[in-house]
Structure 1
Amino acid sequence: MTDSIQRRLFMILGSFTALICIAYTLIALLLAYVTEDMVLESILAQQAKVIIRSSSHETLPRPDMDFMQLYTSVDAMPAAVRQEVRELHVTGGRKLEIFGKDGKHYHVLRLQLGSAQEVYLLAEVSPFLVVSHLSARVAGLMLTVALLMLVAALLLAYFLVRRIALPLQQLAEEVSSTPAKEIPSFKASQRRDEIGFLAKKLEDSLHARHTALLRETNFTRDLSHELRTPITILNNLLLAGQGRVLAEEDALVARQSVDDLMHTLDILLALARAENMLPIKLDLIACIEQSLLFVHYSTPAKRHEVTLDLPAQWLVLGNQHLIGLLLNNLFNNAMTHGDGQAAIHVFFEHPKLILSNAIRSDRHSHTAGFGHGRNLMERITSALGWEIRFEQSVDSFQVEIIPQPAIPGR
């Protein structure tokens, strides 16, 4: 990464911290100067009140403090302040602050004594400028303290930025180091904040992508594997039957191959769709009844006695379309490859659904009864989160299915 979020955060937070430190230092100095100036002005104002109260037409009172002088004319005042005082008289102002060229600091207050007499109270306050003298003497110390505080603030900002950016950096590292074929699991997804929410959503998104790629890979593999046999059979029949009408047995094999193609395509397309992986609560007994009716009416030539020994209701978690394909495939195989003289027995043995039938002896060498399409049935039950087991003997075949039970109240 050419631009790190930690570096950017540190630049922003560090700049803001430095700005705050400098601003508060300047504000502190400004407040010190303003406070000092207000104290001096308060002293002059108090002295002015005393002078006004004790004034008479014959004599002028003398200020109580040595650094203050009372003047009746501008010309009698020090040369450093005459020009500014004349401008004050012209503008009609009452007070003035003057920084003399000789390094002295003057405060001037114009007073009105009686009806016509004006006087000027002049105070040379440079000895009382504590902040200026203190700043000059301890400027190095103040600068050192300010720099130390700035460095401390920047260090604090650095550690805060590391603490803030570390979970994001760890998440980025985990994302970049996770192989494309692996299901990701991020440590940050355990956090209970925005970063944890982001990690969880990213984990779910990558998991969904991985699942979609897996379904696509399985679909491509199954197309080449499951459809090869019925297509080969049809191709051989067509090649062998060129120029003549197919025999009844060959036509039966061709129709069976086409049915196998249709069933296989239905199953593969169902497994490839993401919406078929979302489980809901269903009644398995109703699914069995619907599947039996579908197989009965879709293949009227096949007639078998089916014995059901099931409870009134059996709630499971699954997808209705996938469950229907599984049961249709099982019943269709049983009717096609089973012994026509024996019943298909479907019964409940907690927590299993068991389907059993006899195998026709004349087809035993060519088929495995319910075992036809076993790989696809295992794929369907795996997608449903169920379990399936096959048991075969010389003259019988049995399938045990353990569905995922529905939790009551959900």
Structure 2
Amino acid sequence: MASSIRRGLFAALAGFTIFICLCYTGLALVISYVTEDMLIDHLLKREAAAMTVHFRQHGVLKQPADELIHAYADVDALPPVARAQVAAGHERAEIATGTGQHYHLRTLDLPGGQRIYLLADVQPLLVVSKLFQDVGGLLTAIALGLIAAALLLAYLLSRRLVAPLQVLAQEVRSQAPTGPVAFSGRHRRDEIGYLAQKLSTTVSELHATLNREHAFTRDISHELRTPLTVMRNTLHQAASRPLEAQETALLQSGLDEMASTIDVLFALARAQHIAEELVDLRGCIEESLLRLLDDTDRLQLHLPERLQVLGNRQLVMLLMNNCLGNALFHGGAGARLRLSFADGVLSVENSLDPARAGAMQGFQHGQHLLRRIADAMRWDLGFHAGAAAYRVDITPLRAH
């Protein structure tokens, strides 16, 4: 498409150039011939005025002073071509013949009703025709050279004007689906720069949308497989015997985990459209603990009275609910929970039940999802597994 634009622009510039050249050439010819005719007419007019003055003063007809002009008192004495013009009623005429003569005819009415005819053979005065005969080849060569130069300039201008568009089109064509978006023309201060900026923004947003869609699809497959498998196995056993209370609780826990996971995934899919704000992290922690924890004797809380961080309240609540929910569930019924904040790091630690040593402990399940939540808010996460406890360190983005 870019090359067709260049061809179209070159054709327009070339056509306009040739049109201007032809117009100016025609205008120059018209001006030359008009000037030549005006000069000859002025000579006849001046000769007619002189003959009229002489006739009034002396009463006799004076012959023209210019040897190219002849005065005829009788129309029959005129050359046939001139006589035909007079017979047609023309008082002034320009007559070209095929024998080399070129006449200018002018009728003069003298006092007393006498009419004479001034006929000038102006062939020696036709400078324009003589000029084209002598140097017409040179003038034609110069004109063709100027047209060629103008066409070359039009070609160079078309290349120069369309080159930024070609570069932009090539960059768009070679843009990788997951590569960085950086068009070279975005710093230009013209329409191409504006177009490059808009394209860059649009492609970046499209890449981000596609990445979120791929991440959502991947996370749905990864995070929901485990609880679905547990629930499917439990329900399979229910076909042969009634479910025990522990198995019912496991099903309920799986449903709660799936609901929480889906909430997180949808929030992450919309993360780029969620505004960043000041959030009271301690308030979010307390709200999550009130919902998840019944026995406060298992809890140790070492937090400042107010803990302002930069993030999104919905994502912060999802992060806290998942961290604390995992800690309480995987740590076992007797697990103790300790939350502390020091040096800008929030530490969430749960003790491990030795009887559940073979099971998944603490935060090992769902780490990828927790990292996705933290990355969406530009927070850092660190996981530390020990023999008697499991700890996650959360480094939130602090307000300055």
Residue aligned with 1:103, SS: coil
Q: Which amino acid aligns with 1:283?
A: L
**How far does residue 84 in structure 1 lie from its aligned partner after superposition?**
0.8
Q: Which amino acid aligns with 1:388?
A: L
Cα 1:270–1:126 change in 2 (3 A) is same
Q: Distance in 2 between matches of 1:368 and 1:266?
A: 23
In the alignment, which residue of structure 2 is the partner of 1:19? 19
- Superposed CA deviations along residues 112-146 of structure 1, whole A, max 9, x for unmatched, are 22252222222221111111100111111111111
In the alignment, which residue of structure 2 is the partner of 1:330? 323
Match of 2:353 among 355, 358, 361: 361
Residue aligned with 1:97, SS: strand
Greater alpha carbon shift after TM alignment, 248-257 vs 131-140:
248-257
Residue aligned with 1:55, SS: helix
Greater alpha carbon shift after TM alignment, 21-30 vs 257-266:
21-30
Residue aligned with 1:169, SS: helix
Q: Distance in 2 between matches of 1:50 and 1:295?
A: 124
Q: How does 1:202-241 map to 2 (within 5 A)?
A: 202-241=199-238
Count how many residue pairs are aligned between Structure 1 and Structure 2.
395
Q: Distance in 2 between matches of 1:84 and 1:348?
A: 118
Q: Distance in 2 between matches of 1:365 and 1:14?
A: 83
**How far does residue 160 in structure 1 lie from its aligned partner after superposition?**
0.9
State yes or no: 1:374 paired with 2:375: no
Give structure 1 stretches of 5+ with no counterpart: none
Cα 1:88–1:24 change in 2 (3 A) is same
Q: Distance in 1 between matches of 2:207 and 2:221?
A: 21
- Contact between 1:343 and 1:357, CA under 8 Å: does it hold in 2? yes
**How far does residue 264 in structure 1 lie from its aligned partner after superposition?**
1.0
Cα 1:243–1:115 change in 2 (3 A) is farther
In the alignment, which residue of structure 1 is the partner of 2:42? 42
State yes or no: 1:179 paired with 2:176: yes
Q: Distance in 2 between matches of 1:405 and 1:99?
A: 98
Q: Distance in 1 between matches of 2:5 and 2:286?
A: 62
Q: Distance in 1 between matches of 2:287 and 2:196?
A: 48
State yes or no: 1:403 paired with 2:397: yes
Q: Identity, % of aligned pairs? A: 35
State yes or no: 1:82 paired with 2:83: yes
Q: How does 1:187-198 map to 2 (within 5 A)?
A: 187-198=184-195
Greater alpha carbon shift after TM alignment, 335-344 vs 245-254:
335-344
Match of 2:146 among 144, 149, 157: 149
Cα 1:2–1:194 change in 2 (3 A) is closer
Residue aligned with 1:111, SS: strand
Cα 1:312–1:132 change in 2 (3 A) is farther
TM-score normalised by structure 1 residue count? 0.85
Greater alpha carbon shift after TM alignment, 339-348 vs 23-32:
339-348
Q: Distance in 2 between matches of 1:155 and 1:269?
A: 60
- Contact between 1:354 and 1:400, CA under 8 Å: does it hold in 2? yes
- Superposed CA deviations along residues 29-88 of structure 1, whole A, max 9, x for unmatched, are 222112222222222223333233332273013323111122223222222311012223
- Contact between 1:171 and 1:188, CA under 8 Å: does it hold in 2? yes
State yes or no: 1:140 paired with 2:147: no
Q: Distance in 1 between matches of 2:8 and 2:153?
A: 16
Cα 1:282–1:64 change in 2 (3 A) is same
In the alignment, which residue of structure 1 is the partner of 2:71? 70
- Contact between 2:102 and 2:122, CA under 8 Å: does it hold in 1? yes
Runs of 4+ off more than 6 Å: none
Cα 1:83–1:219 change in 2 (3 A) is same
Q: Distance in 2 between matches of 1:319 and 1:109?
A: 101
Give structure 2 stretches of 5+ with no counterpart: none
Residue aligned with 1:123, SS: strand
- Superposed CA deviations along residues 142-172 of structure 1, whole A, max 9, x for unmatched, are 1111111111111111111111222222222
Match of 2:272 among 271, 274, 277: 277
Greater alpha carbon shift after TM alignment, 138-147 vs 189-198:
189-198
Cα 1:260–1:313 change in 2 (3 A) is closer
Cα 1:77–1:378 change in 2 (3 A) is same
State yes or no: 1:385 paired with 2:382: no
Residue aligned with 2:177, SS: coil
TM-score normalised by structure 2 residue count? 0.87
Q: Distance in 2 between matches of 1:216 and 1:322?
A: 18
**How far does residue 256 in structure 1 lie from its aligned partner after superposition?**
1.5
